[in-house]
Structure 1
Amino acid sequence: MAEPEKSRTTYHHGALRTELVDASVRLVESDGVGAVSLRRVAREAGVSPAAPYHHFANRAALLSAISAQGFHELAEDLAAVARTGDGPGEVAALVRCYVDFARRRPGHFQVMWRPELSEPAKHPVVHESGESALMQLTSVIDGLEVPDPHGLALALWAIGHGLASLMLDGQLAHTAEKWDTTADDLVERCLRVVSRMAH
């Protein structure tokens, strides 16, 4: 027997917002970002089609909430690594942290970099939380004696993002199979290169 559909009275006001965000992330992970609409999310959360509008003006606002949540968690993860104070090893650990975050939160990761969320004026919370995450990387690099810290920060960001994207898309596993190794091994080999870059 199927479980009865939840009504919106099941949730307290704050809990409904959280459930809508969680339902959206589940949709992204199963069907991609294109599947997210307020109507579909309402159905997934078991509430009326009008209920999401009490918390989100439109789809962009919902995606913005997911993105900000993801950046906030990523910033916390990176900050924990940055406190180790291990120089070049710390830089490689930050890149690993970025990849691990994408693996652990694939739905958030797919939403965080959406181009429609990149305008600070329209999505200030996303901009602020994204800047906080980037600051963790640059703060570590600023403590190293490298000739171009901004260039290194960009290179590390690109490497971390590239590895994470390749992993989520299955391309890293495909390459690992051809090279008779594992995706994790390829990540570790790349991180050893990153560590040498930071010296």
Structure 2
Amino acid sequence: MVQDHYLNACSHILKKSALATSPFIKHCRCLHPKERTSTRSCNDILVLARDPPMDIAIDCPLDESRLLQVEKEKDSSKDGRIDSYWSQFFDMKSLSGNDKYPNVATVVKAVLSLSHGQFDVERGFSSSARTLTDDRAAMSEKTLDSYMMVKSAMQMYGNAPHLVPMTKDLLASARSSYSQAHLYAWACWARARGPGFQGAPGPD
């Protein structure tokens, strides 16, 4: 009984999901490495090229996809990323030195750039809510954006500041940020003194 319930529930979800109602999503299967050499991959790429509309001739990706089916892989993607897998074909050149699969590359890049869901957006809202607390209600949008940018960058290094490489570009950016923050603070102080106030920023 329990197994039948789960089977029926899964069947219902699939019927109501975008996988069943959207042909576009179904034809995205051609991006899987194992689908590249399948007979249906050419038609899948053709459907993806039509929706969303792209500034390419429809027959061009069809011809390129047929050639791509017999193309040998340079090497398998070691990191398992689908964009890394397809990049090896985008880098290939024809005998004339031009890109070998420019139209297929346009289609694949367009599809891979589509959002796969709202998770990242919702996570961003949650993170902003944790940052903009009641005692920080006066925080400006610019300050909040800066705070979120630093927080996101720190996550790339496991929130461990000592792991962040001290490059020349980073140090220059820090000095520039300090100068801008100093000028911004002085401008706010000058506005508080009232119109007509003249002065100069204090020493850095």
TM-score normalised by the chain length of structure 1: 0.30
Larger Rg: 2
Relative contact order: is structure 1 or structure 2 higher (C-alpha 8 Å, sep ≥ 6)?
Answer: 1
TM-score normalised by the chain length of structure 2: 0.29
